């Protein structure tokens, strides 16, 4: 209650609560669909890795199959994300989930040749980009202001928790039921997600469908989205900040050799893998209590802070000191939720699908390059040195991006309409 004679608190400076987020019925349906599809996705990754290894005995082919669950996003992000701007977004989400349910069901047929499995797997992953773009853009249409940022945080926490649950239960399910049955469960998870989205999300018209000039073609949409980000300094530097994970993601690629270097076994690898995501969950929960303006002001410092702890690895600390450092990195990496949500809200609704796809591709490419470069460097230098070097490079990159974003903010460049 405000003091007598004082002004009432500005609602825009009050952080949205998770209670308010879950009070929105459409978000509850979207959230329920997310849980099932993410767990099913991770279950399928485990099942495919086991299936390929059992048939071929090749660790290389098993790893290649896992890579096929990630690589198509690089292509589909720019090429297919624009579908979320050309068709009703609920229809895009439901169609993608229904198609993935059918494709994965075909993969679950016992005895399917490996080359057909790979083709079907690529097709499944190509549908991920338009689905994610439609999901993110759709959520921004019924969640506004800080409620959207809080909803993004809930989705991030849920996604990470569901991934861990999928990986943990994946091995158990595959061992108990077999790879084909596990893939069948993944197909069912996509089908359930499609039903939930059809029932719970309101159909909205295509953004800009009333424009007499008509919709641009595929190339026009792609080039317009790229120009929008490049010409807007605020969006450009937000994209750079969104790509900072390309530096601190190296800890995942080097978890196994790092654990071996400090005398740890498989359990140590798992603990190191969990350190950064666990830190991010804590960071998201803590930052959700800050006022929106304060959270926005911390984007740059936290982006830099996500890489600073890695530099201390140059001293090759023991396992638990490293876990603490990587956890601190994850704690600061919680800035990513605010950066991504702000980016989405600054894009005109009619272009959100395409631009979200471009930013998602930039993030995936930066992470891929980071892991590959770190892996190559670790063949010549100690893993601790490589992690520290990634930290130094990450601090320099993040500081430059943060400085550019700060200048764009001070210049008062307006956000985009439709947020």
Residue whose C-alpha is closest to residue 413's, from 232, 237, 240? 232
pLDDT for 307 equals 95
The Cα–Cα gap between 86 and 133 comes to: 12
CATH number given to 18-202: 1.20.1250.20
Q: 128-142 vs 89-107: helix axis angle to the nearest 10?
A: 150
Q: For 316, phi and psi rounded to 5 degrees? A: 50, 60
| Residue 54 neighbours by CB under 8 Å, 6+ apart | 179
The model carries a pTM of 0.79
pLDDT for 160 equals 76
Q: Which residues of the chain have pLDDT under 70?
A: 1-13, 58-70, 163-171, 208-218, 265-266, 270, 412-419
pLDDT for 121 equals 84
The Cα–Cα gap between 337 and 207 comes to: 25
Q: What is the enclosing helix (H) or strand (E) of 77?
A: helix 72-80
pLDDT for 18 equals 86
- CATH topology agreement for domains 18-202 and 218-411: yes
The Cα–Cα gap between 133 and 42 comes to: 20
218-411 belongs to which homologous superfamily? MFS general substrate transporter like domains (1.20.1250.20)
The Cα–Cα gap between 25 and 312 comes to: 45
One-letter-per-residue 3-state SS of 53-69: HHHHCCHHHHHHHHHCC
Alpha carbon dihedral 219, 224, 227, 232, in 10-degree steps, equals -160
Per-residue pLDDT tens over the stretch 107-161: 889 888 888 888 888 888 888 888 988 998 899 888 888 888 899 988 888 887 7
**CB contact at 8 A, 325 and 305:** no
The Cα–Cα gap between 351 and 362 comes to: 17
The Cα–Cα gap between 97 and 124 comes to: 9
pLDDT for 417 equals 39
| Residue 386 neighbours by CB under 8 Å, 6+ apart | 250, 254, 374, 377, 378
Instruction: Give the domain ranges of the chain.
Output: 18-202, 218-411
pLDDT for 30 equals 92
């Amino acid at each position: 209650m405000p003091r007598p004679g004082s002004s009432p608190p500005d609602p825009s400076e009050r952080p949205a609560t998770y209670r308010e987020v879950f009070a929105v019925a459409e978000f509850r349906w979207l959230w329920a669909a997310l849980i099932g599809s993410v767990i099913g996705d991770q279950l399928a990754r485990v099942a495919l890795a086991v299936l390929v290894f059992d048939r071929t005995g090749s660790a290389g082919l098993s790893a290649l199959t896992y890579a096929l669950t990630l690589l198509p996003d690089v292509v589909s992000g720019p090429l297919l994300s624009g579908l979320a701007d050309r068709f009703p977004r609920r229809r895009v989400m439901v169609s993608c989930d229904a198609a993935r349910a059918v494709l994965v069901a075909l993969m679950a047929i016992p005895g399917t040749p490996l080359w057909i499995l790979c083709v079907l797997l690529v097709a499944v992953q190509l549908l991920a980009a338009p689905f994610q773009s439609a999901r993110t853009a759709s959520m921004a249409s019924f969640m506004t202001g800080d409620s959207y940022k809080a909803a993004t945080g809930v989705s991030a926490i849920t996604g990470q928790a569901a991934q861990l649950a999928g990986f943990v239960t994946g091995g158990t399910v595959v061992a108990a039921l077999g790879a084909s049955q596990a893939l069948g469960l993944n197909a069912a998870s996509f089908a359930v997600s499609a039903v939930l989205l059809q029932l719970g999300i309101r159909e909205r018209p295509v953004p800009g469908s009333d424009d007499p000039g008509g919709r641009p073609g595929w190339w026009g949409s792609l080039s317009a989205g790229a120009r929008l980000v490049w010409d807007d300094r605020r969006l450009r530097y937000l994209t750079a900040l969104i790509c900072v994970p390309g530096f601190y993601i190296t800890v995942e690629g080097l978890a196994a050799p790092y654990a071996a270097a400090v005398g740890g076994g498989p359990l140590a690898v798992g603990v190191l893998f969990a350190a950064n995501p666990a830190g991010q969950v804590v960071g998201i929960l803590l930052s959700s209590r800050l006022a929106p303006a304060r959270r926005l002001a911390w984007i740059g410092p936290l982006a830099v802070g996500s890489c600073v702890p890695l530099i201390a690895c140059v001293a090759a600390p023991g396992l638990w000191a490293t876990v603490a450092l990587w956890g601190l990195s994850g704690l600061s990496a919680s800035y990513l939720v605010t950066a991504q949500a702000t980016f989405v809200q600054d894009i005109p609704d009619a272009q959100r699908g395409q631009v979200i796809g471009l930013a998602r591709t930039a993030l995936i490419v930066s992470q891929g390059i980071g892991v590959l470069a770190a892996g190559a460097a670790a063949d010549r230098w100690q893993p601790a040195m490589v992690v520290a070097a990634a930290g130094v490079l990450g601090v320099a990159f993040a500081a430059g991006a943060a400085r550019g974003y700060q200048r764009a903010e001070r210049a008062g460049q307006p956000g985009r309409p439709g947020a």
